[in-house]
């Protein structure tokens, strides 16, 4: 079994790449295509899969199979070298949301030691679950303000790799128990996390972080939020709804 080189690990902004087809296998809804290298992110860690094309064929799904990454296509391209193209608007949206999540989770830890126990990046909004159901409006506003201050300061977001033995000695926001080389994502002087996801290279790229909804259940608080382009679209929707309501009254 060959190992797939994950190009998104070192360059999240890579939109197009060249690769060699290692093999293609029939799958229930098409073919699983394996490349020697890929910029396509597979669904994992709460972040959805990338879309795009390989040899002009639509990529339907990207699956992490350990050492290899499988690309699901409706038909198999001819063997040899191919060009992969990432659906950039979707990728950049995910980069905004995921980096925003790191910032928001770190902000909740700093204002009250509220730890994030899970993260989900959805099609319309994202959410984190915090390990307490005692957060009030004051704590939510403080965390939102602290998170956006980091965005406004446009701090660097740096990716590095460390052996597991070294990474486990660092002040990670959440401990990691993985082996081998650990990918670390650092927001300067604010957050350090082990993460395999895609991120913007400076916090200003997140745009803005807006908390939209809060739910409490079973000792947890679920915080729904949007970042960047999603926050802009939701603000426009809010304005349209409020304007319509005002006209009706």
Classify residue 211 as exposed, middle or buried by CB count within 10 Å of its CB (0-12, 13-18, 19+): middle
Domain range annotation of the chain: 5-86, 91-234
Whether the predicted pLDDT of 1 surpasses 80: no
The label of the residue with tokens 């965390």 reads: 143
The 3-state DSSP class for residue 140 equals helix
| Residue of higher predicted confidence among 118 and 248 | 118
Whether the predicted pLDDT of 163 surpasses 90: yes
Q: Is the dihedral of CA 198, 203, 208, 209 positive or negative?
A: positive
Tens digit of pLDDT for each residue in 22-73? Answer: 999 999 989 999 999 999 999 998 999 999 999 999 999 999 999 999 999 9
How far apart are the C-alpha atoms of 230 and 120, rounded to whole Å?
A: 15
How many C-beta atoms surround the C-beta of residue 137 within 10 A? 8
Which CATH topology does 5-86 take?
Elongation Factor Tu (Ef-tu); domain 3 (2.40.30)
Asked if 139 contacts 155 with a C-beta cutoff of 8 angstroms, the reply is no
Classify residue 25 as exposed, middle or buried by CB count within 10 Å of its CB (0-12, 13-18, 19+): exposed
The label of the residue with tokens 């701090």 reads: 155
Q: Average pLDDT, whole number, for the chain?
A: 96
Bridge partners for 162 per DSSP: 182
**pLDDT score, position 248:** 82
Classify residue 232 as exposed, middle or buried by CB count within 10 Å of its CB (0-12, 13-18, 19+): middle
**pLDDT score, position 59:** 98
Tens digit of pLDDT for each residue in 164-205? Answer: 999 999 999 999 988 999 999 999 999 999 999 999 999 999
The label of the residue with tokens 């926050």 reads: 231
Whether the predicted pLDDT of 235 surpasses 70: yes
How far apart are the C-alpha atoms of 99 and 121, rounded to whole Å?
A: 11
Look at domain 91-234 and name its CATH class. alpha beta
The 3-state DSSP class for residue 144 equals helix
């Amino acid at each position: 079994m060959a190992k797939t080189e994950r190009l998104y690990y070192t360059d999240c902004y890579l939109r197009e790449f060249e690769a060699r087809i290692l093999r293609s296998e029939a799958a229930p809804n098409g073919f699983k295509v394996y490349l020697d290298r890929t910029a396509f992110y597979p669904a994992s860690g709460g972040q959805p899969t990338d879309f795009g094309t390989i040899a002009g064929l639509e990529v339907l799904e990207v699956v992490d199979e350990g050492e290899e990454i499988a690309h699901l296509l409706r038909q198999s391209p001819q063997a040899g070298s191919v060009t992969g193209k990432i659906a950039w608007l979707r990728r950049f949206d995910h980069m905004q949301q995921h980096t925003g999540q790191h910032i928001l989770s770190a902000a909740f830890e700093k204002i009250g030691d509220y730890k994030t126990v899970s993260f989900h990046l959805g099609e319309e909004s994202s959410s984190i679950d915090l390990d307490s159901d005692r957060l009030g409006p004051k704590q939510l506003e403080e965390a939102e303000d602290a998170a956006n201050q980091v965005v406004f300061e446009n701090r660097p977001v740096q990716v590095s790799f460390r052996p597991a033995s070294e990474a486990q000695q660092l002040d990670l926001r959440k401990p990691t128990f993985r082996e081998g080389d650990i990918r670390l994502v650092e927001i300067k002087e604010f957050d350090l996390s082990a993460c395999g996801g895609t991120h913007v290279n400076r916090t200003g790229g997140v745009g803005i972080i807006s908390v939209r909804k809060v739910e409490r259940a079973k000792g947890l608080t679920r915080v729904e939020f949007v970042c960047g382009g999603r926050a802009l679209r939701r603000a426009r929707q809010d304005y349209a709804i409020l304007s319509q309501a005002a006209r009706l009254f």
